[in-house]
Amino acid sequence: MQVLIVEDDRAIAENIYDYLEAAGHQCDYAMTLAAAKRQLATQTFDVLVLDRNLPDGDGATLARSLRAAGEVVPILMLTARDTLEDKLLGFDAGADDYLAKPFALQELAARLQVLARRSRGRIAGAEALVCGPLRYDETAQQIWLDSRLLSLPPKAQRLLTSLMPHPGRLFSRRELELAVWGHEQEASDNLRSVLLTLRKVLAGSGVEIENVHGLGYKLVIA
């Protein structure tokens, strides 16, 4: 596993670096956003460990710019900001996972391996994404629930395929609106309408889209 560690605290970065190297992984290190951008432009990484508080800005801006450019490298955001709002902002910027300081190196390594494995699976899996009983065939643009082909309107399909890679993760209303329409909606009823359609199709399947009041939505597999 090739890891880029973007962290300005040298002691933390060296601890991560040494632990991962000892486990057989290859690591590179950047202390600033500018240095990270240079390395990302010339090297390919399996995962990115990205701190929020960096000397030349917020790591979330780098995550957002990578996603806007179509970069799919998994990002584990590492930060002392551990409030729910900060986590939601990190996910909104494009992070795949979020780990608050202080943390156990064993947990960090385990999370990185999960992210790298999921990413490899999406690349090597012939464009297929599996989440519980759901399977999305990207080539055919079809979603299957066990052996049943789901008949979904385009907006409902975009919403479900946005949720499937991250079961259990909380998505904000804004994230889902961007995934479905490409921009925020003035009325929340638009998203509710798509969610209602999707919930009707999934009813009784053990797959649910849970509303966390005031915070967002998440895909739950029973």
Which pLDDT tens digit goes with each residue over 196-205?
Answer: 999 999 998 9
Average predicted confidence (pLDDT) for the chain: 87
What's the burial of 122, exposed, middle or buried (CB within 10 Å: 0-12/13-18/19+)?
middle
Q: Above 80 in pLDDT, residue 122?
A: no
Q: Global pTM?
A: 0.56
Residue 193 located in a structural domain: yes
Q: Which domain, by its residues, includes 17?
A: 2-124
Q: Above 90 in pLDDT, residue 138?
A: no
Per-residue pLDDT band for 28 (boundaries 50, 70, 90) equals very high
Residue 63 located in a structural domain: yes
Supply angle C-alpha 128, 129, 135, rounded to 5. 90
Per-residue pLDDT band for 91 (boundaries 50, 70, 90) equals confident
- For residue 108, what is the domain's CATH number? 3.40.50.2300
Choose between 58 and 68: higher pLDDT. Answer: 58
Q: In the numeric block, which tokens belong to residue 104?
A: 């156990």
- 101 and 156 co-located in one domain: no
Q: Above 80 in pLDDT, residue 194?
A: yes
Neighbours of 213 (CB within 10 A): 5
Prior bond to 102 cis, omega within 30? yes
**Per-position b or e across 86-113, b if 16+ CB within 10 A of its CB:** bbbbbbbbbbbbbbeeeeeeeebbebbe
Contact status, residue 114 vs residue 104, Cβ threshold 8 Å: no
